[in-house]
Amino acid sequence: MAEALVLKQLDLELRNIRKRYGSFIAVDDVSLKVQPGQFVCLLGPSGCGKTTTLRCVAGLEEPDQGGILIGGREVTGDPPWKRDIAMMFQDFALFPHMSVARQVGFGLEMLKKPKAEIAQRVAEVLASFEITQLAERRPGQLSGGQKQRVALARAMITEPRILLLDEPIGALDYSLRETVMLELKALQRRTGISFIWVTHDQNEAFSLGDLVVVMNHARIEQQGSPEEVLGRPRTAFVAGFIQGNNVFHGTAGRAQDGMLQVETPLGAFTVPLLDLATPAPGSPLSFSVRAERLIERADESVPNRIALRCVTVEYFGAFRRHVLDGAGGVVVKYDQFGALPQSIREGEQITLGWAAENGVLHRAPPA
Amino acid sequence: MSTIRAGSPAAFWLALPAGLWMVVAVVLPVLLIVWVSLWGGQSVSPDSPITFDNYAHFLANENYRWLILDTLGQAAMIMAITGVLGYCIAYFLTVKLTSPGWRTALFLAFVIPFWTSTLIRAIAFVPFLGVNGLLNQLLISLGLIERPIQAFLYSRLGISMAQVSLYTLLASGPVVYMLSSIPPALREAAMTLKAPPIIVFWRIILPLTLPGIVIGQVLVFLNVLADFITVTTVGGNKLAFLGNLILLFYEGSQIRSTAVVSVLLMILMLAGVAVALRVVDIRKLGS
């Protein structure tokens, strides 16, 4: 039986884009494919190139090399007003001299829609974002949450193929963020518009994204589903950037039965090779262990053990975090879940360990 | 940091010295001029009866009525030219010029000439515009003209060129300030909403810089109306505007007519500011 080949057009494709400012490389060889209706989060520390990448998609920056396709059409070199995108800016970028209604209708006005149609669509959109009562206000008279809704309404009214969001909730009060995140996720699912969401907050990225793209130093370190990135960080950077990981650096030792010995300044540890090729003995590598996978007061039955001294204990409600010091200045985090009574005192000497299968060897060797 | 509330005794005492100075140096002289302009009778003295005859007499003269219109016309022309030119310069400096070094350098080159006095700058136009002046020599050496153009100096053309040069900074400065306070994201947001640059300018940039334009226009208007130096030095004695008429009457010891023209000039200026305030509330700026 012949396989029915359905070629779904990608909403966005970045092909090896590169952008430099003088000697500073802002985006280096970034490639990305966004499926229709996908929620993509670009995650990374400030200065990693995530915002520049977004601005290249919008056409606000032009990459020096590489290609950008929106809906399968080459748009590299096209100005922003000729691209099928809309963008939400970090501080919303509302026009201070326009009423909310005028502002929200601006995009349709630019598309030269008839006045009656604009008025009707604006009324609909204001109603759906529950901001009808703000129609005649100016941005100066709005709260942070209201501004965010107006900015979103203004961007969504033209029904773009892709909505670009640059830290869209970063300017909101902390208490508002979770609600707004849920609303935006629901909106994205309802409309089927692809979202590309830039953030430095991993909670946003992992809870919202279908695809999480972790960037560092202008490059993509890893892209994948939240489960993939969280469960199997590809590099020491990704592992270290994700909260609750302990990253160990060392060199490859013997490999046997799918297990690799890793020599570190703290001793030798056994780490599963998984699907990775056996590295040459002595080659540098790194692996990580999640802080909640550590075992207190590990005895001989636990293959990987470290002697540590507890420095601080913090209680977060859901878990208790212990920060411990080891030989050579290494810092280890141990998270204890379940409302257990405190079992390690600050200042106490203790041996922690972990089961061999809980070590995650990173694919890419440390640079 | 302690704050001083408006209307409190501390605020009153702090405002008193400046207030007294304003009363002595501005309010009283103005009232004096208004009073003198109303003196009637044959003898020029404080005993004169109060009357509007001086105004009626002045305004009855067709030449003087024409002079008022001509002064306003000159102001309007200079405002239009400096407005457009000043806006272009401001736009270039703040928007088009991305290198901070060049921006500072050009801005200083633009501003430093204004550290010299108006009188010196006005006089400096004489060797520039004269028959053997720089401008004529330049045009001749470029082969654009064969003989010097007489009309540059001692003409309305010369006065206007000098005034445009003198007052463009006034039209430009407030626009520079307004332009640089517009976040770049506004322009970008408009572009992502499908607005091409000309529409972005028309719908976003221009409305947001309107207060700056109006303030600049007010400054140019007031300066052109008050300008008698440029008109005297660059215009020779061929031309006169209201400002020169004040000087003329004063030198002719016609003290009542001097006062009348002064008061009329002040009324024109106040009217100009009032019109500008109707367009934008200048007092709300910077808040």
CB A205 within 8 A of CB A193: no
Distance of residue B272 Cα from the nearest chain A Cα, in angstroms: 25
pLDDT at B73: 95
Per the CB < 8 Å rule, is A60 touching B186? no
**Per-residue pLDDT tens listing for chain B (287 residues):** 467 787 788 888 999 999 999 999 999 999 999 999 999 877 777 788 888 999 999 999 999 999 999 999 999 999 999 999 999 999 999 888 888 899 889 888 888 888 888 788 888 888 888 888 888 888 888 888 888 888 778 888 889 988 998 899 999 999 999 999 999 999 999 999 999 999 999 999 999 999 999 999 999 999 999 999 888 888 887 788 999 999 999 998 889 999 999 999 999 999 999 998 887 765 555 43
Residues with Cβ within 8 Å of residue A352, at least 6 apart in sequence: A294, A295, A296, A297, A298, A305, A306, A308, A324, A332, A334
Task: State whether A158 and B194 contact (CB < 8 Å).
Answer: yes
Q: Are A29 and A16 in contact (CB under 8 A)?
A: yes
Task: Flag if B192 and A58 touch (Cβ within 8 Å).
Answer: yes
Rounded to a whole number of angstroms, the distance from the CA of B207 to the nearest CA of chain A is 7
Task: Kindly state whether A79 is in contact with chain B, defined as any CB-CB distance less than 8 angstroms.
Answer: yes
**A56-65 b/e (C-beta count within 10 Å ≥ 16 → b):** bbbbbbebee
Give the SS3 label for residue B267: helix
Residue A132 corresponds to which tokens in the numbers above?
Answer: 């009808």
Asked if B191 lies within 8 A of A60 by C-beta distance, the reply is yes
Separation between Cα atoms, residue A199 and residue B1, nearest integer Å: 38
What was the pLDDT predicted at B80? Answer: 97
**Shortest CA distance from A88: residue in chain B:** B189
pLDDT at B287: 38
Measured between alpha carbons, how far is A32 from A223 in angstroms, rounded to an integer?
Answer: 9
Angstroms from A107 CA to nearest CA on chain B: 5
Whole-number average pLDDT of chain A:
92
Provide the number of CB pairs (under 8 Å) joining chain A to chain B.
61
Which one of A78, A81, A83, A150 makes the best mutation probe of the B interface by having the most chain B beta carbons within 10 Å? Answer: A81
Cα A7 to its chain centre, rounded Å, is 28
CB B43 within 8 A of CB B272: no
Identify which of A83, A95, A164 has the shortest CB distance to residue B204: A95
Q: Return the residue matching tokens 């508002």.
A: A176
For A142-190, write each residue's pLDDT tens digit: 999 999 999 999 999 999 999 999 999 988 888 888 899 999 999 999 9
Q: How far is CA A286 from CA A236, A280, A359, in A?
A: 6, 14, 10
Stretches in chain A below the pLDDT threshold 70: 1-7, 366-367
What CA–CA distances, in Å, run from A352 to A214, A266, A301, B219?
30, 12, 12, 76
CA-based max dimension of chain B? 74
Which residue type is seen at B2? S
What pLDDT was estimated at residue A366?
Answer: 67
Question: A207 vs chain B: nearest CA distance in angstroms?
Answer: 27
Pick from A85, A93, A111: CB nearest B185: A93
- The number of CA neighbours under 13 Å toward the Cβ of A339 is 1
Cβ atoms B138, B128 nearer than 8 A: no
Nearest partner of A336 among A290, A288, A292, A289, judged by Cα: A292
Q: Does the domain at residues A236-361 carry the CATH identifier 2.40.50.100? A: yes
pLDDT in tens, A55-99: 999 999 999 999 999 999 999 999 999 999 999 999 999 999 999
pLDDT at residue number A105: 96
pTM for the structure as a whole: 0.83
Q: In terms of residues, how long is chain B?
A: 287
Tokens matching residue B144? 């654009």
**Pair of tokens at residue A93:** 């970028």
The pLDDT value recorded for residue A238 is: 95
Shortest distance between the Cα of A220 and any Cα of chain B, in A, equals 25
Pick the closest to residue A98 from A31, A173, A153, A18 (CA basis). Answer: A153
Given CB atoms, is A154 within the 8 Å cutoff of chain B?
yes
Of the candidates A319, A261, A309, the one whose C-alpha atom is nearest the C-alpha of residue A287 is A261
* DSSP symbols for B24-88: IIIIHHHHHHHHHHTB-SSS-STTSPB-SHHHHHHHH-HHHHHHHHHHHHHHHHHHHHHHHHHHH
Residue A2 has what pLDDT? 45
- Domain residue ranges in chain A: 12-231, 236-361
Task: Work out the minimum CA distance from A28 to partner chain B, whole angstroms.
Answer: 24
Cβ(A278)–Cβ(A302) below 8 Å: no
- Tell if the CB–CB gap between A158 and B188 is shorter than 8 Å: no
Residue A43 host element (H or E): strand A39-43
Which of 1.20.1440.230, 2.40.50.140, 3.40.109.10, 1.10.3720.10 is the CATH number of B55-284?
Answer: 1.10.3720.10
Inter-chain contact A87–B192, Cβ cutoff 8 Å?
yes
pLDDT over 70 for what percent of chain A? 97
Q: Per the CB < 8 Å rule, is B193 touching A154?
A: yes
Rg (CA), chain B: 23
* Beta bridge pairs of residue A305: A353
Mutation for A interface: B182, B186, B194, most A CBs within 10 A = B194
Q: What is the pLDDT of residue B267?
A: 95
Residue A90 token pair: 């970090």
Mutate: best of B98, B99, B187, B193, partner A, most A CBs <10 A: B193
> How far apart are the C-alpha atoms of A159 and A119, rounded to whole Å?
16
A341 interfacial to chain B (CB closer than 8 Å) = no
pLDDT of residue B188: 96
d(CA A15, nearest CA chain B) in Å: 22
Q: Which residues of A touch B195 (CB under 8 A)?
A: 81, 106, 110
DSSP assignment letter at B97:
-
Q: Closest Cα to residue A184, out of A212, A208, A155?
A: A208
Q: For the structural domain made of A12-231, what CATH number should be given?
A: 3.40.50.300
Q: What is the DSSP letter of A19?
A: E
The minimal CB distance from B188 to the residues A60, A96, A158 is found for A60
Cross-chain residue pair A95–B191, CB shorter than 8 Å: no
- Smallest Cβ distance to B196: which of A81, A94, A111? A81
Cα B269 from Cα B263, distance rounded (Å):
10
Task: Reduce the DSSP state of residue A3 to 3 states and report it.
Answer: coil
Lookup result for tokens 């009866």: B49
